[in-house]
Amino acid sequence: MNYDSKEYLPDSEERIKRLQKIVNGRPVAILAAGPSICELEDRICELRHADICYFGLNNFFVQEKHVLGQINKNMSVVMGICRDGIPEAIRDVVDFLNRDEDNMFISTFVNYDTFGLLDESFSLEQFIRQYDRKLLSVKVEPDRIIPNADYPLYFTVSNSLLPLIQMALIGKASSIVLFGTDGHCGENPERYYYRQNEYNPQNVPNIDLYLVQDTKLFFNPVAATAIRNTRRTYDLAPVNILNCSLGSFYTPFPKVSYDDALEYLLTGKKLIGKLDLRVPAKPKMPNKCLLAIEKVINFWKKHRWSSFKVITVRVWRKEIREK
């Protein structure tokens, strides 16, 4: 394996060994920012005693505070290669690296402008010197034959989720469970990120279309090849990669409910699901009728019959007054 590329930090092979030591053969849970992760916030206490390695990306500190904070756990590995999000995240990244913990921050440190939006008070050279042992540098390229033995830390251009999954594989995770990997807004176009005000997303017009296109163009078509290349390069056996978002647009991995995902993490119970590494023509849109029925059921559960009668009477009285 060639780790001599100038695109890497020195001693990258040792850095990978440290990553594998952090993961330590455990299941990896990746906490993304889709709105479906709200259920994990409600149920994280069920995983209080589970031995899981938590991975995060971009503005990871929101999930760490509101989800993992409930069970006194932290992220162990964080990836930040989204240039636009670094200015908001850098202070939390520094706090993350200052912890007296065996953790790691992965980014594109060499010959790539990931940190280019930070002001002149930030010195990348000093940052690397200070936190050297906890850093791992990767490179992104449009090539579809990477990673390989000549370029083991080169990853195909994609959204941030895919290289984080690849790093979990390289870290020798026993399995990978994805939370909050929705790839769309679902039935609520006004709530497209978890704890949206804190997550500080970009103000993108037509955000649902943007998220769908991002998933469709920069994940689904490249995930199969990227994962196969990663396994081949590092001689890795297949492991389960489960997507705990039943309405997700991320199509390559089996989608499981929260009940099944948490039971799997707690007991290792086998789940019925098939890894689909074919390239999908189009992500399947949520069924509008089923979403409408789900809204009615949720409304009924929330308000019950007594509240429903009150609301009906109010509407009826309003219509009488208007007549």
DSSP symbols for 46-60: GGTT---EEEEESST
306: pLDDT confidence band, cut at 50, 70 and 90?
Answer: very low
Beta strands in 157-221 (DSSP E): 176-179
pTM to 2 decimal places: 0.82
274: pLDDT confidence band, cut at 50, 70 and 90?
Answer: low
What is the gyration radius of the CA atoms in the chain, in angstroms?
21
**Pairing of the two strands 135-137 and 139-141:** unpaired
In terms of phi and psi (left: phi > 0; alpha: psi -120 to 50; beta: otherwise), the region of 297 is alpha
Q: What is the mean pLDDT of residues 227-254?
A: 94
| pLDDT tens readout for residues 154-212 | 999 999 899 999 999 999 999 999 999 988 766 565 676 777 777 655 566 677 777 88
Q: What is the mean pLDDT of residues 299-309?
A: 50
Q: Which residue has the tokens 């636009």?
A: 84
pLDDT recorded at residue 85: 74
Lowest-pLDDT choice from 88-102, 262-276, 308-322: 308-322
Beta strands in 93-134 (DSSP E): 104-107
pLDDT recorded at residue 58: 85
Q: Are 104 and 76 in contact (CB under 8 A)?
A: yes
pLDDT recorded at residue 313: 45
Q: Which residues neighbour 171 within 8 Å (Cβ) at sequence distance 6 or greater? A: 16, 19, 20, 22, 23, 28, 53, 77
End-to-end CA distance of the chain: 80
Whether 318 has a pLDDT exceeding 60, the answer reads: no
Lowest-pLDDT choice from 92-101, 132-141, 181-190, 236-245: 181-190
Q: What is the mean pLDDT of residues 67-88?
A: 88
Lowest-pLDDT choice from 87-101, 179-193, 215-229: 179-193
Lowest-pLDDT choice from 74-83, 104-113, 130-139, 151-160: 104-113
Query: What is the distance between the alpha carbons of residues 40 and 47, in angstroms, rounded to a whole number?
Result: 10
